[in-house]
Amino acid sequence: MSFIRPEAKETLWRLRELILAGALALLGFSWALGSFGFIAITGWALVLISVVVAIVGAQRLRFRLGVGGPGIVQVDEGQIAYFGPLTGGGIALSELERLTLDHSAKPAHWLLEQPGQGILAIPVNATNSDALFDAFASLPGLRMERMLAELRGSGIHQVVIWERASTRSPQQRLH
pLDDT tens-digit readout, 108-127: 888 999 888 889 999 988 88
Average pLDDT of 41-70? 87
Rounded Cα gap, residues 32 and 41, in angstroms: 7
- 81 with 115, same domain: the answer is yes
Average pLDDT, the chain: 86
Average pLDDT of 54-63? 86
Residue 153 corresponds to which amino acid?
Answer: G
| pLDDT of 20 | 95
Domain count, the chain: 2
Judge whether residue 94 has pLDDT over 80: yes
**Which pLDDT band, with edges at 50, 70 and 90, does 173 fall under?**
low
**Helix or strand (DSSP H, E) at 158:** strand 158-163
- 54 with 119, same domain: the answer is no
Domain span at residue 111 reads: 69-163
